[in-house]
Amino acid sequence: MRVLLQRVSRASVSVEGAVIGEIGPGLLTLVCAMRDDTAETAGVLAAKVAKLRIFPDDAGKMNRALLDTRGAALVVSQFTLAADTRRGNRPGFSAAAAPTEGEALYEAFARELALLGVPVATGRFGADMAVSLINDGPVTIWLDSDAPAV
């Protein structure tokens, strides 16, 4: 599973001109399920997102987590995070989970994040969405369940 986090002052997602999800301070969370991902993968990454210390403390150091700040998460599916650009000029997306599986894992990720106590708003899986945000920092973090831990 791949997740791209953007720390935001606010963010929203619209479908056909109607806002379907919005948050104030927190994280815009773009999520892509990959072929071999499981519900366990979604849970592990949701916990990582909730506990990742990327918000400033009173001294201005990134030392507080989403749970500490009582911020929210806007969870938006984005299969293009699976893009393989190693060959040619057209990205390939064969590493992404099939749509039915991808939708289930996207929903599992959002559900797990909410179960941890994070207020969650979502986009609509498979829809053509317009995402608006005010990036705070800017802080943008890439998480990949296949990346080796060091």
Would you name the residues annotated as active-site residues? 78-80
Element (H, E) at 143: strand 129-144
DSSP state of 84: B
Q: Is 69 exposed, middle or buried (0-12, 13-18, 19+ CB in 10 A)?
A: middle
Strands 55-56 and 72-77: unpaired
Cis? peptide before 138, omega within 30° of 0: yes
| Degrees to nearest 5, angle at CA 85 with 100 and 106 | 25
- C-alpha to C-alpha distance for 117 and 78, rounded to whole angstroms: 23
